[in-house]
Structure 1
Amino acid sequence: MKNALQTTVLGLMLLAGPAWARAEGPQSEGLRLVLTGVGRFAVLADLSTIVRTGDTVRMRSLQVTEDDFQAAGQAYWGGWSWWAFNCVARTADRLDFASVREGGTEGPATPDAAPAYAAAAGGDAAELLAVACDPASVGEADADTLADAVRVGRAALAAPVTAH
């Protein structure tokens, strides 16, 4: 169960206005997306959405699917999720998921009621947490539009995996 402080911070963020207003609806301009990992999906962190309050950071990420991904006969590019990270406790809380259909149509967002959890090394949450908690460590953005992010993500998914 989330502690009262995390719940209070999230509530304040929801009421905050300008930062939260960016979260609603399609966002195709002003993005600063950085590829953070490639596994089943390519995951990109949106640096333009980072909002820090004490030890807690809120950020949106994009999960990109392979080229031919379909559900119920509809082609999808992937989906957006809002996250809350505790940089000291090293926990991650995925707040929602909103699908992105081919062409960029978003949503609606579905809340994720699961509690915050320890971000395991090597997992998507840990990679996103690292960027959210230390955005200065990241170089230039890999994409600044949703369509560019899908191209970057799909190229990363299609790249051959090399053994170490």
Structure 2
Amino acid sequence: MKRVLPLLLLFTLLAAPATGRPQEEHTGEHRFVLIGVGRFAVLADMVSLERDRDGVRLRAFQVTEADFHVGDQAYWGGWSWWRFDCAAHTADRLDFAAVKAGGAEGPATPDTAPAYEAVEGGDAAELLAAACDPASVGPYGVSTLEDAVTVGREALAS
């Protein structure tokens, strides 16, 4: 029975409906907008924006400072899929996938915490505003991951 449970869990995750799981990595052009700067610089990839029946999903890139390392490995930051309920003003971070220097993306780790109120001043509220009202974010900044890292690190340094 102990060997069957992990297989059942894996099957359940693989069979889950697409609206409840993060999407696969986007491989086309990006349209990044700098959303906020705190401990990390957060950029929304507006090309990933997709509406579903009750809300909207958006992929965000979190940029680290230039000297961010784990062991000997340098990292640019990480990707997260988010889902927002515009009417209820809630945010749900669906996953996180680290991005190594050079752009290699690690596997996504699901974030199983429930949706929460997007409190003004936080990354979730800033991303929610961009996702729910894309016209409010202004012009798109950059279209490559490398340029997003540059923009994010410049913002962190200022």
Same fold (TM over 0.5): yes
Letter paired with 1:11: P
Equivalents in 2 of 1:55, 1:134: separation in Å? 15
Q: Map 1:4-153 onto structure 2 (within 5 A).
A: 11-13=17-19, 23-25=23-25, 27=27, 29-153=28-152
Q: TM-score, normalised by structure 2?
A: 0.85
Equivalents in 1 of 2:89, 2:61: separation in Å? 20
Q: Contact between 1:33 and 1:141, CA under 8 Å: does it hold in 2? A: yes
Equivalents in 2 of 1:72, 1:24: separation in Å? 27
Q: Contact between 1:81 and 1:97, CA under 8 Å: does it hold in 2? A: yes
Equivalents in 2 of 1:26, 1:59: separation in Å? 11
Kindly name which structure, 1 or 2, has the bigger radius of gyration based on alpha carbons. Answer: 2
Tell me, which stretches of 5 or more residues in structure 2 are unaligned? 1-15
* CA spacing shift, 1:148–1:55, aligned 2, 3 Å: same
Letter paired with 1:24: E
Return the offset for 1:72.
2.1
Runs of 4+ in 1 over 6 A off after TM superposition: none
Q: How many residues align?
A: 143
Return the offset for 1:12.
4.6
Letter paired with 1:33: F
Task: Give RMSD over aligned pairs.
Answer: 1.7
Return the offset for 1:81.
0.1
Return the offset for 1:14.
5.8
